[in-house]
Amino acid sequence: MNLVVCVKHVPDTESRIRVKGDGTGIVTEGLNFVVNPYDEFAVEEAIRIKERIPGSKVIVVTIGPEDATKSIRTCLAMGADDAVHVVDGDFQRFDGVATAAMLAAVIKDLQFDLIICGKQAVDDDCAQVGPALAEFLGIPDVSVVTKLDVAADAKKITAVRETEAARETVECSLPALVTAQKGLNEPRYPSLPAIMKAKKTAIKTVPAAELGLGPDGAPRVEVLKFAEPPARKAGRVLEGEPRQVVKQVVTLLVEEARVL
Amino acid sequence: MARGILVVCEQREGEIKRATHEALSEASRLAAALGGEVAALLIGDKVKAKAASLAAFGAKKVFVADDARLGGYAVEAYTNVAKKVCDDFRPDFILLPATALGKDLAPRLAARLGAGLASDVIRTEVTDGSLVLTRPIFAGKALLSLKVTSQPQVITLRPKVMALAEPDAALTADVQDVALAGLLDTIRTTITKTEKATTGRPDVSEADIIISGGRGIKAPENFKILEELADLLGAAVGASRAAVDAGWRDHQDQVGQTGKTVTPNLYIACGISGAIQHLAGMLSSKCIVAINKDSEAPIFQVCDYGIVGDLFEILPLFTEEYRTVKSRG
């Protein structure tokens, strides 16, 4: 079975994000970039499928700056076989549909039965790439998946997806795309020998300009300005006899904040 | 210039979701500012009876795609139907709620239309005749304003943010059936089972009140005291990443950067210190109450009301006090 996983190189979730003084972007100095957490679930799932179905292969596809090699090597060390890196200096374009068009241009020439993406990147939070990529490739998608089974004949998947009020079990023919949600699996830590080996794996690089995108690759959004969220002022912190303090807070919630 | 705004509605078992009414309300405000007509697309099985009700929130036209094969979310069929209505109605703006369904359908539709998509928008502004959108990035650690430059523009709106218009029962809409021939032939996804949440509590993404627990809860069974208060308030029970990673709560309940971003009226954080990735997910709550033993915990820097104390003592007292207040009316 041929598995393709799309991976983004993003600031880790512990990062404090600062906006540049002129609002043109975020300050990237000092940020620690890692594999997008949801993409890590995607990589782990692909490797688990590979381990179950003999003859399977996992290819990682990344669009990102030169530095994204670090995240690609992490995926290789986890157990991915090959990687394609579309080298694109833009840290962010906030245009998931355009990104999906770029990914589609790469993936359409690969053999694939199943594509796994993270449900969203934790930097732009767009959650657009998975479904849009499936659309560009003309295959069905199941998004926000917490459980995935591949039929023994590798012709069908059964996925559990989350909605607001329910868990839906969805059967889908292959080829297809799924997006990974937290809970799908617990990603492995690569072993030291695997890390050493991954350092030597050749990564195919493609300059973004050479993808030969038609109108699908045109930008569709214009980024105007970045801003810090409105600061929240520290409110009243109460200490003292518990019963009195609780009484006071409940009264404030009912009468002042009017939220109870 | 006459413009059309199409709202792709969401219903659950025939009930129109609040997020749909919010999107229609926002569409009506945009139509007032930009000119044009608001239309709604209602997709489902046996949903036609609900079509007229969308008029009360400003839809002048309602396109209805009513078929047994559309009862559950079938991505390909839904995309086909939405594309067909866009081809016929030619909207300039297509709005969807940023729900599980909207987040899946919007990118597919945008890709099919060759359009751009702004996801999870929390503010719209008309400047010089064009629409400027604001959306959180990095789970709310920063805000981005952008324009969609394509024609049409696809926009998903974060639920619980856009103001709900006062429904006007006197308004009516022209209801039309979508000709479905050929649109439902390719459905490669089948929903074989739907398990509803059994707690009876709302999802954290939809709740007006959330009681969340973190590391300070110490053990999974201790969430009982949060649940007791939650059930009294009709609230959801949320959890920090620490509580989820410890296996105490389901990841569906996680609030924060690798969980859900929430905007309830009231967020009660119990035994949560306030790690940056947690704060990012709940800072846009209207009112935040923190209960924590450690007076230095960062959560106290962002809460409206803080209680320094042992949550195992405070929370039951809170429940008791609220019961008393409620019984007094």
Q: Measured between beta carbons, which residues in chain A are less than 8 angstroms from residue B102?
A: none
CB pairs under 8 A between A and B: 285
Contact B209 A259 (CB under 8 A): yes
Q: Any chain A CB within 8 A of the CB of B177? A: no
Q: Which residue of A has its CA nearest to B206?
A: A164
Q: Where in chain B is the domain with CATH 3.40.50.1220?
A: 209-327
Preceding peptide of B298 cis, ω within 30°: no
Q: Which residue of B has its CA nearest to A27?
A: B142
Q: Measured between beta carbons, which residues in chain B are less than 8 angstroms from residue A131?
A: 75, 103-108, 111
Choose the closest CB to A125 out of B100, B136, B283: B136
Q: Any chain A CB within 8 A of the CB of B283? A: yes
Distance from CA of A80 to the nearest CA of B (A): 23
CA distance B131 to B59: 20
Q: Which residue of B has its CA nearest to A242?
A: B314
Interface of B with A in 21-50 (CB under 8 A): none
pLDDT value of position B1: 47
Domains of chain A: 2-217 (3.40.50.620)
Contact B121, B135 (CB under 8 A): yes
Contact B107 A127 (CB under 8 A): yes
For the ranges A17-26, A214-223, B244-253, which has the lowest average pLDDT? A214-223
Exposure string (b/e) for A222-234, b if CB count within 10 Å is 16 or more?
ebeebeebeeeee
Q: Any chain A CB within 8 A of the CB of B307? A: yes
Higher-scoring residue by pLDDT: B121, A233: B121
Contact A97 B111 (CB under 8 A): yes
Contact A187, A38 (CB under 8 A): no
CA distance B241 to A230: 24
CA distance A136 to B108: 8
Q: Phi-psi region for residue B310, left (φ > 0), alpha (ψ -120 to 50) or beta?
A: beta
Record the pTM: 0.95
Task: Name the class of domain B4-177.
Answer: alpha beta
Distance from CA of A41 to the nearest CA of B (A): 12
pLDDT tens track, chain B, 329 positions: 457 999 999 998 889 999 999 999 999 999 999 999 999 999 999 999 999 999 999 999 999 999 999 999 999 999 999 999 999 999 999 999 999 999 999 999 999 999 999 999 999 999 988 999 999 999 999 999 999 999 999 999 999 999 999 999 999 999 999 999 999 998 999 999 999 878 889 999 999 999 999 999 999 999 999 999 999 999 999 999 999 999 999 999 999 999 999 999 999 999 999 999 999 999 999 999 999 999 999 999 999 999 999 999 999 999 999 999 989 87
Q: Which residue of B has its CA nearest to A226?
A: B144
pLDDT tier, A234 (very low <50, low <70, confident <90, very high otherwise): confident
Q: Which amino acid is at A153?
A: D
Return the bridge partners of A7, or none: A62
Q: Measured between beta carbons, which residues in chain A are less than 8 angstroms from residue B308?
A: 237-239
Contact B288 A232 (CB under 8 A): yes
Listed in order, strand segments (DSSP E) in chain A are 2-7, 9-11, 33-35, 57-64, 82-87, 114-118, 141-150, 156-162, 166-173, 176-180, 204-207, 221-227, 236-238
As a whole number, mean pLDDT of residues A66-77 equals 97
Contact A131 B111 (CB under 8 A): yes
Q: How many Cβ atoms are within 10 Å of B291's Cβ, its own excluded?
A: 29
Choose the closest CB to B137 out of A125, A130, A216: A125
Contact B101 A163 (CB under 8 A): yes
CA distance B126 to B26: 12
Task: Name the class of domain B209-327.
Answer: alpha beta
Q: How many Cβ atoms are within 10 Å of B8's Cβ, its own excluded?
A: 27
Contact B196 A172 (CB under 8 A): no
Q: Where in chain B is the domain with CATH 3.40.50.620?
A: 4-177
Contact A123 B137 (CB under 8 A): yes
Q: Which residue of B has its CA nearest to A163?
A: B100
Q: Phi/psi at B55 (nearest 5 deg)?
A: -60, -35
pLDDT value of position B2: 54
pLDDT value of position A218: 80
Convert chain B into a string of H (helix), E (strand) and C (coil): CCCEEEEECCEECCEECHHHHHHHHHHHHHHHHHCCEEEEEEEECCCHHHHHHHHHHCCCEEEEEECHHHCCCCHHHHHHHHHHHHHHHCCCEEEEECCHHHHHHHHHHHHHHCCEEEEEECEEEEECCEEEEEEEEHHHCEEEEEEECCCCEEEEECCCCCCCCCCCCCCCCEEEECCCCCCCCCCCEEEEEEEECCCCCCCCCCCCEEEEECHHHCCHHHHHHHHHHHHHHCCEEEECHHHHHCCCCCHHHEECCCCECCCCCEEEEECCCCCHHHHHHHCCCCEEEEEECCCCCHHHHCCCEEEECCHHHHHHHHHHHHHHHHHHC
Q: What ipTM was reported for this prediction?
A: 0.95
Choose the closest CB to B108 out of A15, A135, A250: A135
Interface test with A, best of B157, B277, B305 (most A CBs within 10 A): B305
Element (H, E) at A131: helix A129-137
